[in-house]
Amino acid sequence: MIKKPNTQFDTYRLSDPVYDIVLRIANEIRTHHNYETGAKIALENNITLKQIIQKTLKLDIFDIAKLADAMKKLKTK
């Protein structure tokens, strides 16, 4: 049985699974302050910084910069 969306937000989340991944990344950074794990999630799912910035307001510019550094560090390993 397919869950019927209740709100416009639910409709966006159902049509674009990137929202759930970005939410996991943002929660990892905001609750655990773990930028490396957030970067791993992003890289494993081919999520770009542009997508993260477009789909969340939970991260400030400092968080985005730290995440970018962590992603770059993991890519160069």
pLDDT tens-digit map of 36-74? 999 999 999 999 999 999 998 889 999 999 999 999 999
- Give the start-to-end residue ranges of the domains of the chain: 13-75
Q: Using one digit for the tens of pLDDT, what is the confidence trace for 18-41?
A: 999 999 999 999 999 999 999 999
With residues binned 3-state (H G I as helix, E B as strand, rest as coil), the percentages for the chain, rounded to 5, are: 70, 0, 30
Element holding 46 (H helix, E strand): none
Terminal CA-CA length for the chain: 43
Q: Model confidence at 13, in pLDDT bands (50, 70, 90)?
A: low
Give the model's pLDDT for residue 4: 54
- Tell me if 11 sits within 8 A of 36, measured CB to CB: no
Q: Model confidence at 2, in pLDDT bands (50, 70, 90)?
A: low
